[in-house]
Amino acid sequence: MTVSGVGYRGDVVSVISFIKKDDGQIVLNKIEVIDYSQETPGLGDKIAEESVKERFSLIPESGLNSGVQVDKDAGVTVSANSIDAYKEQGVIKTSDVMTGATITPRAVADSINAAVEFLKEEGVM
């Protein structure tokens, strides 16, 4: 599914894929950021780096239903060994891999939330 969210100076466009596990749970499998051309060089443009995209992958249905948000917006400090646990709550740690940039990862989180709402409306979730 192609999604977009409002970034620093324009839309941040991503392609996201979901999988349905054997137990029927939906998981955000992977994200590929395909357009971030208006984001700040050295800050927001880090959204396309593998280390950042991995943070937005394998978000379980519980996290998707909670609403995806970056750690700074959630007001939590996520330690390196609890990244996956926080994904279950929809919290994605980006503050360590995108220091100083919040608007761009927030745009990705918002676009994921919009995709989840669409899937719910369509009866997929």
Give dist(CA 89, CA 108) in Å, integer: 16
| Res. 4 pLDDT band, cuts 50 70 90 | very high
Mean pLDDT of 18-47: 91
Mean pLDDT of 26-30: 96
From 65, 52, 68, select the one nearest 26 (Cα to Cα): 65
Supply the pLDDT for residue 76.
94
Inform me whether the pLDDT recorded for 39 exceeds 90. Answer: no
From 1, 3, 59, select the one nearest 35 (Cα to Cα): 3
Query: What total number of domains does the chain contain?
Result: 1
| Interval 75-123: pLDDT, tens | 999 999 999 999 999 999 998 888 777 899 999 999 999 999 999 999 9
Supply the pLDDT for residue 62.
97
Supply the pLDDT for residue 69.
97
Locate tokens 């280390």: which residue?
51
Residue 92 main-chain phi, psi, to 5 deg: -110, 125
| Interval 42-85: pLDDT, tens | 888 899 999 999 999 999 999 999 999 999 999 999 999 999 99
**Could you list the residue range(s) of the whole structural domain that residue 104 is in?**
2-121
From 49, 51, 64, 52, select the one nearest 19 (Cα to Cα): 64
Helices (H) and strands (E) in the chain, counts: 5, 5
